[in-house]
Amino acid sequence: MKKLTLSMISIGLLLTLGACSNKATVSYGDAQEVETTDLSFGSTDLQKIATEMTDSLIASAAVDELVKDGRPVMYVERIKNKTSEHIDTESITDSISTKLLRSGKFRFVDMSRVQDVTKQLEFQNDGGLVDPSKAVQFGKQTGAEYMLYGNLSSIVKSNKDKSDVYYKFTMRLMDLESGIVEWADETEIRKTKEKQGWSW
């Protein structure tokens, strides 16, 4: 009896110590690798959305028409987050505009930096430090002809056996002058997680 208790205690101690000596490790991985840590919005979802949307936009016949006479100027309006997660939609916007710029078919104006630009131009023109002949003039910027906008929504469901999340990303391209929507597309993502049977 006594021996049994003793051995039980030592097993318990070993288990506790085992947990303590378990070291964390850091390693580099492939940024494009499929990531399935948990159900929430992750890098793979972001990459999938950005790639599919830009591919669809560049390949569409309507856009071929638009880029016929040079590279149209666009700007990306914020992507509206209508999900139940705090997602940095600016990062989706950034990925999409970068990919579009890389395609060489479009030019962009960056609306998120308007304030900084204004400040810089004010400094150059009114600060008195910059040679007026070399200062960048006000009123010379190009206005955007097209607006790219969209929203991301989700449906989340779960029961005691599994959880399921569905994302839908919709994007549209609007001609600012006529108000006509020249292109629209959507992409969907579904992820399901089944619960483990048992664990520690």
Partner 1 sequence: MGIHFVPLIKPTKLRVLFGSLGVLAFLAGCAGMQFSDMFSGYAQQMQPVRAQIDQGQVQQAQSLLVQRGKTENSYALSQLERGRLAYLASDWSASQQAFEEVYNYVKTTNEQAKIRVSESLNQASALLSNDNALPYIIPAYEQSMMHSYQAINYLMQGNREGALVEVRRANIVQENALKQNQQKIDQARNDTLQKADVSESSLYSSFPDMESTLADVKSGFQNAYTFYLSGVLYEGSNELNDAYIDYKRALQIYPDNPVIINDVQRLAKRLQMQDDIERFDNRYGTYRPKSENAQGMGDVVVMIELGQIIPRQDASINIPTSHHGSLRFYSLSLPSYNNASRFAAPAKVQLSLGERSLLAEPILELLPLAKFQLYDQMPGMVARQVLRIFAKEEIRQEAARSGGDVGNVLASLYNMASERADTRSWLTLPQQIQVLRQPVNAGPQSIRIDYNGQQQLIDVEVKESRITLIKLTVTGNYIGYVSSNL
- Residues forming the site for partner 1 (CB under 8 A): 38-39, 80-86, 156, 158, 160-161, 163, 193, 195-200
Tell the smallest beta-carbon distance from residue 81 to partner 1 (Å).
5
Nearer to partner 1, 70 or 197 (CB): 197
Tell the smallest beta-carbon distance from residue 82 to partner 1 (Å).
8
Contact 187, 48 (CB under 8 A): yes
> Which pairing describes strands 162-175 and 181-194: parallel, antiparallel, or unpaired?
antiparallel
Could you give the CA distance from residue 102 to residue 107 in angstroms, rounded to a whole number? 10
Nearer to partner 1, 80 or 119 (CB): 80
Could you give the CA distance from residue 87 to residue 89 in angstroms, rounded to a whole number? 6
Nearer to partner 1, 46 or 100 (CB): 46
| Amino acid at residue number 86 | H
Tell the smallest beta-carbon distance from residue 194 to partner 1 (Å).
10
Tell the smallest beta-carbon distance from residue 153 to partner 1 (Å).
10
Could you give the CA distance from residue 49 to residue 80 in angstroms, rounded to a whole number? 14
Element (H or E) spanning 163, and its range?
Answer: strand 162-175
Could you give the CA distance from residue 6 to residue 20 in angstroms, rounded to a whole number? 21
Tell the smallest beta-carbon distance from residue 46 to partner 1 (Å).
17
